[in-house]
Amino acid sequence: MTGRFVEFTKSALLEVQEYVFLVGKFFRGLVTRPFYYRDVLEQFDAIGVGSLTVVLLTGMFTGMVLALQSGFTLDQFGARSMVGRLVSASIVKELGPVLTGLMVAGRVGSGIAAELGSMMVTDQIAALRALGTDPIRKLVVPRILAGLIMVPLLTIIASGIGMVGGWIVTTSLLHVASSVYWNAVVQGLFIQDVWMGLIKPFFLGFTIVSIGCHVGLRTTGGTQGVGRSTTNAVVASSVSVIAVDYLVTQFLIVLMY
């Protein structure tokens, strides 16, 4: 029992150490040559444009259900006109970043782990190194950079469409006037909330993609190993999204409020 615990602790520490090394190499790759511009653009497209549909749908339905649920609750206090406040505050501060993060973790984190994992077990990563290419610069830097930039943009889109979803439900089902809804949306938001909604996705994007890359590049054990890595990447990055969201929120509250 003790032996297994020691083994587990050792392997967990090794994983953390390797992850930290990967992050260090990413920052080094970011500021030194060679830099693969074309791969960065390809990843912007794969991670950003590719995730647009799922993020739009998630944002839209989240805004709609939020308006629906809060509408009926607020109705009990005769405060149906305040729905916009609740929708905007919840989506911009919390639901937009977290749900976008979770969607990207499911779609992009798993994809990266599977892709890099397959490349590992079929020796393509070794072949890259043999051909004189550093896999960190070629594969990891463009992906993390794309995650860093595209997840905040996707979050803005998700939050925006979420508020539109809320507007549709509020005006059509709750019969609140558009102007009342949008006025409440603006009243419900403070500048700190907007900053919080903009800052958090940078951390989430970085976390999701770096975990996907780390897990993918540590893949062993053939196709079974690729399947295991894909699952591990989704689980680890989804849990990390929630954990990082809490930590960054805590930090920003201390800093801004």
Partner 1 sequence: MANGEGAPRSALLDEALGPGGPIIVLDGVWLAFDEKEILKNVSFTLQTGHTKIILGASGAGKSTILRLILGLLTPDRGRIFVNGERIDEMTEDQLMAVRTDLGMVFQEGALFDSLTVRENVGYKLYEELHWPIDQADARVREVLGFIGLAEYLDRMPGELSGGQRRRVAIARAMAAKPRILLYDEATTGLDPITALTVDQEIVKLRDLESVSSILVTHQLRDAFFVAEHTAVRQGSSLSFDRAAGRKAAEAEFIILRDGRIAFEGTAQEVREIAKKDEYIHAFLS
User: Could you say which of 81, 124, 171, 249 contacts partner 1 (CB under 8 A)?
Assistant: 124
Asked if 129 interacts with partner 1 (CB under 8 A), we say: yes
Q: Give the span between the Cα atoms of 142 and 147, in whole angstroms.
A: 9
Asked if 31 interacts with partner 1 (CB under 8 A), we say: no
End-to-end distance of the chain based on CA atoms, in angstroms? 47
Q: Give the span between the Cα atoms of 85 and 188, in whole angstroms.
A: 4
Asked if 23 interacts with partner 1 (CB under 8 A), we say: no
Q: Which two tokens stand for residue 5?
A: 């615990």
User: Could you say which of 15, 81, 133, 153 contacts partner 1 (CB under 8 A)?
Assistant: 133
Helix, strand, coil tally for the chain in percent (to 5):
90, 0, 10
Asked if 131 interacts with partner 1 (CB under 8 A), we say: yes
User: Could you say which of 2, 4, 5, 130 contacts partner 1 (CB under 8 A)?
Assistant: 130
Residue range at the interface with partner 1 (CB under 8 A); choices 43-51, 125-133, 218-226, 248-256: 125-133
Q: Give the span between the Cα atoms of 143 and 139, in whole angstroms.
A: 6
CB burial of residue 81 (10 Å; 0-12, 13-18, 19+): middle
User: Could you say which of 123, 187, 224, 250 contacts partner 1 (CB under 8 A)?
Assistant: 123
101 contacts 159 by C-beta, under 8 angstroms: no
Peptide bond into 34 cis (omega under 30): yes
User: Could you say which of 2, 4, 132, 191 contacts partner 1 (CB under 8 A)?
Assistant: 132
79-118 footprint of partner 1 as x/- string (CB under 8 A): ---------------------------------------x
- Number of chain residues interacting with partner 1 (CB under 8 A): 14
DSSP symbol at 131: T
Site residues, partner 1 (CB under 8 A)? 36, 118, 122-124, 126-134
